[in-house]
Amino acid sequence: MAATLKLNGHDMDIWIVNPYGTLPSEGWREYRSSMLARALAARGHHPTWFLSNFEHRSKSFRKEVQADPTLPGVTIYCLPARPYARNISIGRVRYERSFGQAFGAASQVLPKPDAIILAEPSIFFGGPVRRYALNNNIPLIVDILDLWPEMFAVAAPKPVRPLATLLLAPLYARRRKLLREAAGVVGCTAGYTNVARAVTHRPTETFYLGVDVTEVRRSMLDIPNSWRLPPYSGLTCVYAGTLGEAYDIPCLAASVEALAPLGRVRLVVAGDGPESPRLKQLSQTYPETLIFLGKISPQELGAIYAQAQIGLCSYAPGSAVEMPVKLFDYLAAGLGFVTSLNGEIHTLIDAGAGLYCRPGDPAALVEILSGLADVPQRVAEMQVVATDHGKRFDQHYQHAAFTAFIEKLVKPQSISRDAE
């Protein structure tokens, strides 16, 4: 009977191993692992998400849970991990190692799954996952969400950067080995997928993170008075997301003083992170140029999008990010965008949905934004193109396709093992 169920593409036990991310009930935008788990459950599978009991964004411990009310059919294991204070630190390494050890212990007492989805980068926690999959003949599918060796090179002190490739060679070798051993590889951007295709002939596909386009657009329809921004005749630009070291927040902050006397551009910032106090202070000094909202709910964010025309994808110089979730938010909301990113996002720039601005260059950002404020027709054209592209990145479409990819890879092996 079980073999028949699996032959129809249902009833497989799938483990998702990713210590990072937030549960939907915790109030942030839905994360990759929960979107994938939701899609797997909708297809009749039994997904289990192994995540950390230490939450990355808030740097605080979460309550241990086995389920989330907004993820029916999904089992959750909050594995114990050591806390850390800084994203790039020895503490972060210890955190990942402790999570990997906790996974190793948990995997020994649980029934074997039909497949494991491993979130990459998994530099310091992926070893126990990889060994468990190999030792038990379980298909391992690697989901590339970021390129950490490359990010380490960017974060290295300038005198060391010319030697970064040599110094990081063991990490690149580790990734090549992992990708070659995997049953399949997924990238959340085409650029990440191409990294895999350069080193392995295993099946590879691109499935974007995406957002719930219908929900974003619904949240823009009715704006409560409490969420209305002060009236403004100029260009309103929004930045929504983390306010940390991986983002070009210093450039954003430095542009405020130059934009203030022009009176044509207003910045609205929503999010939380180490740069929050700086932005809050700036908003008090230049209240008509910068509105700082702090952390707000997705529903409130939709109301803010409805009152803006441009979204900002501001990332630190050298970032390997190509297609961030905030971009999909902006497209779903029909906002044109300005970005400091390279890579696949430039296909949307070429289509007319956005503009590129050099990272770390406040003068360039001021010039671009003030130029857009002077040509509202161009902004309107960017918004039309953005709206047209938004539906392509709907999270339900992307993760239904991701689920089909998993079924295609895993089904023959799970049937064979089940029939033994």
Amino acid at 289: T
**Whether residue 111 sits in one domain with residue 15:** yes
**Whether residue 94 sits in one domain with residue 77:** yes
Domain span at residue 411? 2-210+394-419
The total domain count for the chain is 2
> Which of 57-66, 358-367, 410-419 is predicted with the least confidence, judged by mean pLDDT?
410-419
| 276/406 Cα distance (integer angstroms) | 40
Question: Which helix (DSSP H) or strand (DSSP E) does residue 410 occupy?
Answer: helix 395-419
Higher pLDDT pick, 29 / 247: 247
**Whether residue 310 sits in one domain with residue 329:** yes
| 307/290 Cα distance (integer angstroms) | 14
Q: Check the CA dihedral 52-167-185-140 and report its sign.
A: negative
Confidence (pLDDT) at 1? 28
Burial of 160 (0-12, 13-18, 19+ CB in 10 A): exposed
CATH number, domain at 414? 3.40.50.2000
Question: Which helix (DSSP H) or strand (DSSP E) does residue 40 occupy?
Answer: helix 32-42
Cα dist from 72 to 14, 39, 55, 69, 153, whole Å: 15, 11, 21, 6, 40
Q: How many CA atoms lie within 13 A of 166 on its CB side?
A: 4
Check: CB of residue 114 under 8 Å from CB of residue 14. yes
Percent of the chain past pLDDT 70, that is, above it, reads 95
Calculate the dihedral angle through the C-alpha atoms of 196, 198, 203, 208, rounding to the nearest 10 degrees.
40
Calculate the dihedral angle through the C-alpha atoms of 21, 241, 339, 354, rounding to the nearest 10 degrees.
100
> Which of 2-6, 76-80, 155-159, 205-209 is predicted with the least confidence, judged by mean pLDDT?
2-6
| 64/185 Cα distance (integer angstroms) | 30
**Whether residue 373 sits in one domain with residue 234:** yes
- Mean pLDDT computed over every residue of the chain: 91
**Whether residue 250 sits in one domain with residue 180:** no
Of the candidates 402, 398, 272, the residue with the CA atom closest to the CA atom of residue 323: 398
**Whether residue 347 sits in one domain with residue 217:** yes
**Whether residue 282 sits in one domain with residue 334:** yes
User: Is residue 156 classed as helix, strand or coil in its secondary structure?
Assistant: coil
**Whether residue 377 sits in one domain with residue 237:** yes
Confidence (pLDDT) at 6? 45
**Prediction pTM value:** 0.85
**Whether residue 160 sits in one domain with residue 97:** yes
**Whether residue 43 sits in one domain with residue 31:** yes
Question: Which helix (DSSP H) or strand (DSSP E) does residue 102 occupy?
Answer: helix 90-107
pLDDT, mean of residues 262-287: 95
How many other CB atoms are found less than 10 A from the CB of residue 274?
Answer: 13
pLDDT at position 409 over 80: yes
**Whether residue 353 sits in one domain with residue 318:** yes
**Whether residue 198 sits in one domain with residue 76:** yes
Confidence (pLDDT) at 413? 58
